[in-house]
Amino acid sequence: MKTAYDVYDGWTDESNTYQVTEGREEMIADVIGYADGAFDINLSREVAEKIVAAFERMKAYEGGADIDEHYKAVQAPLEEIEL
């Protein structure tokens, strides 16, 4: 079973060179498209919004977040969302 964190992790991976990182609506659409293409998952807008919100939280740290903060703010909440 995949989780929202699996989608987040793949979408934010540096190998995803087509990732859209600007414009909230554009990022939501990109996450939905990524989940469909990479995992064959029909991701809801609500879950995509949570993934984008997690991305924005981590982006605000600009490399200053430690592993514990990443786990609490991103990984743990998104792992609870089964897809």
Instruction: Give me the amino acid identity at 4.
Output: A
Average pLDDT over residues 4-26: 95
Tens of pLDDT, residue by residue over 29-79, are 999 999 999 999 999 999 999 999 999 988 877 766 677 888 988 999 999
Name the band, by pLDDT with cuts 50, 70 and 90, for residue 20.
Answer: very high
Give residue 58's pLDDT. Answer: 86
Tell me the whole-structure pTM to 2 decimals: 0.92
Query: Nearest-CA neighbor of 50 among 22, 24, 68?
Result: 24
What phi-psi label fits residue 81: left (phi over 0), alpha (psi between -120 and 50 degrees) or beta? beta
